[in-house]
Structure 1
Amino acid sequence: MPPYRLPTYHRQGPAVRCINFLCAVLLGLVLIAGIIFFVLWLSLRPHRPKFYLADFSIPNANQQSGLANLPVRFTVAEHNPNQKIGIYYEEIDASVYYGDELVAKGPIAQPFYQGPNSDIALQGQLTATGPTTSDPAWGRFSAELGAGSVGMRLVLTSTVQFQVKMWDTKHHHMKAECDFTINGDGTLKQQDKNSQCALYF
């Protein structure tokens, strides 16, 4: 039976130890840099704004001569949730629909900048172009108005750009859609006040 021998221990040379140390330091630096970049990305990643329909009305909508030339008034509250990022808005256009029927359309805000973590009230006043009494949609609209409940839609469109520190992001085309219902007198139903609008980028 051959004699039992202890395993031979080979000491690593200085060059090997130096290489192992450098690899460990490099991996540590890569890990730290990755954590720093991840934290920076979380803090600088833009969050999209939020829109809420605060009010809407079409005065005298219950008259029997159609909506043409009636004022369409609304207020949309916009919130920038970013703590350190501002938002540039180009001109904001608004469109009001009854089903697929365009009721009113036009610009409601000139280009502006909104600071971080702030709120802006967008005041819109348009002039209705329809439906008129000769439009097929008027019969349905008038009947629903008489019943005290008309579903409508407000669409806001613009181009936005986020300002992150000292540089700006690319331009984004934005569309906010607010679905709501008005009463028989043309005012916004209470349950739809301050309802959040869907946002598309």
Structure 2
Amino acid sequence: MPAPGHRLPLYHRQSPAVRCVNFLCAVLLTLILIAGIIFFVLWLSLRPHRPRFSLIDFSIPNGAASSAGLVNLPVRFAVNEHNPNQKIGIYFDEILASVYYGDQLVASGRVTHPFYQGPKGDTPVQGTLTATGPAASNPAWGRLSGELSAGRVAMRLVLTSTVRFKVKIWDTKRHHMKTECDFSINGDGTLQQQAKNSPCAVYF
């Protein structure tokens, strides 16, 4: 039995106002959770993925036979651009291409006009540039010529552009894009077999 003077605690029922507030808080938290899940799913489905590029072909004809270096020789390449997005298109401004041998610029120029790439689509990017170097008087030509004679020259193709993503009925802001393709050519100036269809790195 309870000690004298000690009273058992009484059960106090919550007032209707308190129960109403608790119910509204529970409903509000549930709605916030549901909205968060819906927003996350929409974000995953509408989040743009960057385009993918792969090197298809490259050549510098008659490079090994030239006595004046690479100056004025044609530089040809083909790259495939793929849009991996299911429902998002991509607007490309003009694409500029640059070819490097080490740090030496070999050729550069515009290779495409602005274009639109639909979802899950592919666009071939082909370019023919005119080499501006290295000339025969450039020490870089001595190294390049020796590597051509050895049958393997490491080179790099750089593509730059500005892109926008078309998400439903609105377009995103412009993003600067840089694509780098590292590869090697044979002694005759053609692309080595193992480099064909190789993926390029894409930076935003």
Query: Same fold judged by TM-score > 0.5?
Result: yes
Instruction: Confirm or deny that 1:175 pairs with 2:178.
Output: yes
2:196 is matched with: 193
Cα distance in 2, alignment partners of residues 42 and 9 from structure 1: 50
1:25 is matched with: 27
Cα distance in 1, alignment partners of residues 195 and 26 from structure 2: 60
1:50 is matched with: 52
Pairwise CA distance, 1:8: 2.1
Query: Residues 145-170 of structure 1: CA distance to partner in whole angstroms, max 9, x if unpaired?
Result: 00000000000000011111111111
1:147 is matched with: 150
Candidates 59, 67, 70, aligned match of 1:67: 70
Pairwise CA distance, 1:9: 1.5
Instruction: Confirm or deny that 1:87 pairs with 2:90.
Output: yes
Cα distance in 1, alignment partners of residues 8 and 150 from structure 2: 98
Cα distance in 2, alignment partners of residues 38 and 129 from structure 1: 51
Cα distance in 1, alignment partners of residues 10 and 151 from structure 2: 94
2:13 is matched with: 11
Pairwise CA distance, 1:6: 5.3
Q: Residue 62 of structure 2: SS of its match in structure 1?
A: coil
Pairwise CA distance, 1:7: 4.1
* Aligned-pair Cα RMSD in Å: 1.3
TM (normalized to structure 2)?
Answer: 0.95
Q: Residue 41 of structure 1: SS of its match in structure 2?
A: helix
Cα distance in 1, alignment partners of residues 66 and 82 from structure 2: 38
Cα distance in 1, alignment partners of residues 180 and 54 from structure 2: 10
Cα distance in 2, alignment partners of residues 26 and 132 from structure 1: 73
2:166 is matched with: 163
- The alignment covers a number of residue pairs equal to 201
TM (normalized to structure 1)?
Answer: 0.96
In structure 1, the gaps of 5 or more residues are none
Candidates 35, 39, 42, aligned match of 2:41: 39
1:134 is matched with: 137
Cα distance in 2, alignment partners of residues 158 and 149 from structure 1: 30
% identical equivalent positions? 75
Pairwise CA distance, 1:64: 3.0
Pairwise CA distance, 1:81: 0.6
Q: Residue 86 of structure 2: SS of its match in structure 1?
A: coil
Cα distance in 2, alignment partners of residues 8 and 38 from structure 1: 47
Cα distance in 2, alignment partners of residues 57 and 46 from structure 1: 33
Query: Residues 6-50 of structure 1: CA distance to partner in whole angstroms, max 9, x if unpaired?
Result: 542211111111111111111111111111111111111111111
2:3 is matched with: 2
Cα distance in 2, alignment partners of residues 109 and 155 from structure 1: 14
The letter for the 2-side match of 1:150 is: V
In structure 2, the gaps of 5 or more residues are none
